Amino acid sequence: MRQQREMARADAGSLRQRTARMEVETGPRRFHDVSAAVDGWLGEIDAGEGLLTVFLRHTSASLTIQENADPDVLRDLLDVLDRLAPASGSYRHGSEGPDDMPAHIKTMLTGASIAVPVLNGRMDLGTWQGLYVIEHRARGHARSLTLHYLGT
Amino acid sequence: MRQQREMARADAGSLRQRTARMEVETGPRRFHDVSAAVDGWLGEIDAGEGLLTVFLRHTSASLTIQENADPDVLRDLLDVLDRLAPASGSYRHGSEGPDDMPAHIKTMLTGASIAVPVLNGRMDLGTWQGLYVIEHRARGHARSLTLHYLGT
Amino acid sequence: MRQQREMARADAGSLRQRTARMEVETGPRRFHDVSAAVDGWLGEIDAGEGLLTVFLRHTSASLTIQENADPDVLRDLLDVLDRLAPASGSYRHGSEGPDDMPAHIKTMLTGASIAVPVLNGRMDLGTWQGLYVIEHRARGHARSLTLHYLGT
């Protein structure tokens, strides 16, 4: 393991926080790259160095960070989620349609909250990383996210 | 994607942090809704706007945010976890009983840490979201959580 | 549920943040315990009470908190990840080798970001918890992490 390298520091007087609500119109069963929209908000609030938390306020869609280069990766990931939570599975919960319980399972396996350090006013993602909302339902929805920033 | 809408802002002078330990007595293989207990603590410390981090200090129980309406959803999720990590599986690690290794697997797939923005003194959960501790062992335990709040 | 017990508090004047980049040289398909290195950084920056966020800047390796006692647990977890994302699976994405798409799947199921409260200058992990980077590729890599600390 190599030495750590300091990237930023800030003391009490320069810290502040901002919270915003963002809505994403999703399409059926697909990944939506929200990286540019989130970085856009960081620009609007003139963020410097800090911590961004993205929280999705739903239980049949989720958040993930994944490869943003080859769209086939995202298609394969959707297939895998279908295999882990098949629509043809036998579930107790069925009142909201056959795609609802698989959507809850997929959300449990991927999560609703991601924290990302912010450097130079942008999420400090790796070269191939994108931040995605995954819509698990068979129809698109208006999905609500809360963005929280704490930093300079 | 629609415009972002600001919900809260705070500057350096008004930020503070609080950390607490919370214990949850679990029952065997089940979901425990801790949303009210966590919001109760936010009330006690007079939280306003900020960020809450919930951390579970164990490797055979985990945290998730899931639907709080139909209890059948939680039963189905337990079944799915059993299917992904069967008690009848063939594992090297068995010294702590046949339910221990499946519990570690379920913890890896769901996680031990969740960050949730706080607005108006409560977790900014969606209408159908609840915060759950999932006990994966075949017997109940006293589970220890650390709650961290940073905000106004 | 028992009463919450306050562990730490701090007001605005004493809060500060630090961000660092850390590199980890991984070996093929294995868990790397980075707990000591991360706690070492917290010592270097003289951290007190606060929140640590660890973020991995890759999509074919991931972060998890798991048992640090019996190494068989980690071997079993690698087997389970192979079962959930078999190298022999049929995937669209194959241009980076047969181990690449399984690595993305494993990353989606485990995650790239973990937040851990800090008490007395160390991650507030449970007795049996360790923080791990999981290398999912068939060869080792230099993996880059961002560490963010906010607290006293």
Query: What token pair was written down for C106?
Result: 């494993």
What value does the mean pLDDT of chain B take? 95
- What is the pLDDT confidence band of residue C4, given thresholds at 50, 70 and 90? confident
Share of chain B above pLDDT 70, in %: 98
Contact A25 B2 (CB under 8 A): yes
Q: Regarding predicted confidence, which is higher, C1 or A81?
A: A81
Contact C17 A109 (CB under 8 A): no
Mutant choice from A104, A116, A136, A144 vs B, greatest count of B C-beta within 10 A: A104
Across the range A28-48, mean pLDDT stands at: 97
Q: Provide the pLDDT for residue A3.
A: 66
Contact B9 A25 (CB under 8 A): no
Q: Regarding predicted confidence, which is higher, C43 or A95?
A: C43
Query: What token pair was written down for A138?
Result: 């068979």
- What is the pLDDT confidence band of residue C1, given thresholds at 50, 70 and 90? low
Number of CB atoms found within 10 A of residue B144's CB = 18
Interval A102-127: pLDDT, tens: 999 999 999 999 999 999 999 999 99
Judge whether B1 is closer than 8 Å to chain C, CB to CB: no
Contact B4 A113 (CB under 8 A): no
- Smallest Cβ–Cβ distance between C91 and the set A65, A76, A119 belongs to A76
- Smallest Cβ–Cβ distance between A113 and the set B11, B70, B114 belongs to B114
pLDDT at B53 over 90: yes
Across the range C73-94, mean pLDDT stands at: 96
Q: How many Å apart are CA A51 and CA A117, to the nearest integer?
A: 4
- What is the pLDDT confidence band of residue A60, given thresholds at 50, 70 and 90? very high
pLDDT at B12 over 80: no
Contact A124 C55 (CB under 8 A): yes
Query: What is the 3-state secondary structure of chain C?
Result: CCCCEEEEEEEHHHCEEEEEEEEEECCCCEEEECHHHHHHHHHHCCCCCEEEEEEECCCCEEEEEEECCCHHHHHHHHHHHHHHCCCCCCCCCCCCCCCHHHHHHHHHHHCCEEEEEEECCEECCCCCEEEEEEECCCCCCEEEEEEEEEEC
pLDDT at C76 over 90: yes
Q: How many Å apart are CA C103 and CA C81, to the nearest integer?
A: 9
Return the number of CB contacts < 8 Å for B and C.
Answer: 128
Across the range B74-80, mean pLDDT stands at: 98
Cβ-in-10-Å burial (0-12, 13-18, 19+) of A68 comes to buried
| Residue ranges in chain A assigned as alpha helix (H) | 35-44, 71-84, 100-110
* Helices A100-110 and C100-110, axial angle in degrees (round to 10): 90
Instruction: Tell me the chain C residues in contact with residue B113 when contact means C-beta distances shorter than 8 Å.
Output: 65, 114-116
Separation in Å, CA of A151 to nearest CA in chain C: 8
Q: How many Å apart are CA B13 and CA A17, to the nearest integer?
A: 11
The ipTM assigned to this model is 0.96
